Amino acid sequence: AVARKMGLIPEPTKYYGIVWCKPGTNEGQNLKDYCINIAAAWEIVEKLSDIGFCVMKVPYEKTWKIVVGSEISKIGFEVRADTAPMAICLAFLKI
């Protein structure tokens, strides 16, 4: 679900099964571990920033709490998870 929201689409291939591509191309790419890898998850933070959202990490006991908000769209919410990448992905899926 995260890959689709990041703009990738699954394309079936004859030899490789399904590959994920940017629309309008047939250049497959490895699917990133957005929910595990902080570098991949940070691409989500950058995308959210590009579309007017602010993402903050707020200390919360032993988990990660991500607060997402946008003055433009009047959206604001928080998400908690055990890891930062998972919290970022869950927040992204709520938008």
pTM metric for this prediction: 0.80
Beta partners for 42?
A: none
* Tens-binned pLDDT, residue by residue, of the chain (95 aa): 899 998 888 888 777 788 888 887 767 777 889 999 999 999 999 998 888 888 887 767 888 888 888 877 788 888 999 999 999 999 999 98
Residue 50 burial (10 A CB sphere; 0-12, 13-18, 19+): exposed
